[in-house]
Each structure stands twice: as structure tokens, then as C-alpha cells.
Amino acid sequence: MPGQRRAGIPIPMSSTKFRKQGSPSALAMFEAEAEGLAELKKAGAIRVPEVYDVGTDADGAYIEMERFELERGRERDAATLGAGLAALHRHTADLHGWHRDNTIGSTPQHNPQTDDWVAFFRVHRLQFQLDLAARNGYAGELQDRGNRLAECIGDLFEGYDPAPSLLHGDLWAGNWGVADGVPVIFDPAVYFGDRETDIAMTRLFGGFGGAFYRAYERAWPLAAGSAERLELYQLYHVLNHLNLFGSGYLDQALSLLRRLTR
């Protein structure tokens, strides 16, 4: 998530390890990050950092993991990542959600397990962020249109029942790179849900380039109606940015809401 990585400060430790340090209250967040990386690693579709330790010491909570010398990905690397993401999404569960909650940036992300994706997204993604925005002082049109969208969200899923795919959850351009010629992803917000949510995030904040999307589509084409659902899923992240970083994201949130409720 641009603007703020997982709440915690990356601290280089050696040529093979680095540590993210936070306050003692960050322990649960780091534990969830470690479990998320383990979930992604288990799928074997895309390389992720190895986690060496999670815990607390005199300086607070920490997570220690594999350190990469990252390079900017080229077109062929983006294509490899696109095919790898489709392979990751082929790893599915019986239910949407996850066995534990985690965070998106520093915002709580609730992941109760359910077979109803539309209700899950309405309550635990869209409505959660709208309620947080109301507490942060963003009322008026944002809430009016947000409530209208929540009521009719099911219309975007007519004829579409997504499988609970394994998701990175926060896959923007700053959360991948290339190490030793291999794409690597990191800083996840893992859960199981509609694979289109990961694609939506890749199209925010710069996108991943045509080679990435062509490779993904060759491996697993998106379903009809995905364009509007991508905007719905982007709204979740834009609202989260509004709640974390302030009114600079209000116009973008309103623009998405106006298109989704027109």
C-alpha cells in the first residue's frame, strides 16, 4: 500500500536478513504478516521472503525475514509475475476470508470465513471503510453514495460467483521486485476471496504494464463484468487511503462512487 508500508520500520541487519520493528502492539500484525507469507509460500506460485523470526524484545515487536537485493522488473519479469499470480489464484479454499484477521496498511482487516462473497465484501470491506470514514469526518455525499452502493452491490455479481482464491491482498507496484532474475512479492494482506480484487489493486497507483495483464489473461481470463467490479474493489483501497492519509483521496473515492452508483 503506497504512502505507508506495514506499520513498522525496516531495519537492515545483515546481507541475508532485515527486520521490521514496531511498538509492542504491532506483534499481532507482524504475526499475521508472517502467516500470510507462509500461506503464499505454500502455494509455490510466486517467490516470497522467508520469515526467520517474529517476536518482541526491549525495542518492541519485530519480524525478521529474508533480505533481497531487488531490481526493477522488466517486461518479461512482469509477464512471469502475471502468469504466477494466475497460478496463485488457482489455490482456493472452501470459504472466503481467512482463519485470522490482519491489516491493510495499519487499518484492521477483518476476515471472517463465509461462503457468501457479496455479503463478505459489503460488510467487511466496503461498509467497514465507510463507517471508519464517517468517524473520521467524511459525511455527506461519500456516505450517501456509499450506502446506495452497499444496497445494490449484488447487481455487480449477477451470473458471477467467484471462487475463494488465495490473494496477496495489497498487490501494488511497490510490493514486488526481481531478485536473482525471479519475481518476488512481499508485504501481503492475505485472505481468500475474488481474484479480481488483486487485479484491481495492481491497476491503482501506476499499474503493472501490458505484459503482466496479457500473461494473466492467457493463463486465466477474467469473467464478463469485471470492469465494474474492478472499480468496486479499487474503492476499498482508495477509502482505506482516505482513512489513513486524509482528504487528498476524497475526490478519487467520490469519483469511483459516482460511477458505481450512476
Q: Give the whole-number percent of the chain exceeding pLDDT 70.
A: 94
In sequence order, what DSSP letters do the residues of 149-181 get, joined into one string? HHHHGGGGGTT-----EEE-S---GGGEEEETT
Residues assigned a catalytic role = 170
Q: What is the pLDDT of residues 3-20, one digit of tens each?
A: 544 456 554 444 689 899
Comparing 111 with 69, the larger pLDDT belongs to 111
Question: 96 is in which domain, residue-wise?
Answer: 70-260
16 part of a folded domain: no
Residue partners of 251: CB distance under 8 A and separation at least 6: none
Q: What is the pLDDT of residue 8?
A: 61
Burial class for 1, CB neighbours closer than 10 Å (0-12, 13-18, 19+): buried
Q: What is the pLDDT of residue 12?
A: 47
Q: What is the pLDDT of residues 70-88, one digit of tens each?
A: 988 899 999 999 999 999 9
Quote the Cα angle for 101-252-238, to 5°. Answer: 10
Instruction: Provide the CATH number for the domain around residue 88.
Output: 3.90.1200.10
CA separation (Å) from 230 to 64, 102, 123, 226? 34, 22, 18, 6
Average pLDDT over residues 174-197: 96
What is the model's pTM?
A: 0.93
229 part of a folded domain: yes
Phi, psi of 227 (to 5 degrees): -60, -45
38 part of a folded domain: no
144 part of a folded domain: yes
Q: What is the pLDDT of residues 124-153, one digit of tens each?
A: 999 999 999 999 999 999 999 999 999 999
- Report how many domains make up the chain: 1
Q: What is the pLDDT of residues 48-57, one digit of tens each?
A: 999 999 999 9
**Distance between CA atoms of 114 and 14, rounded to whole angstroms?**
42
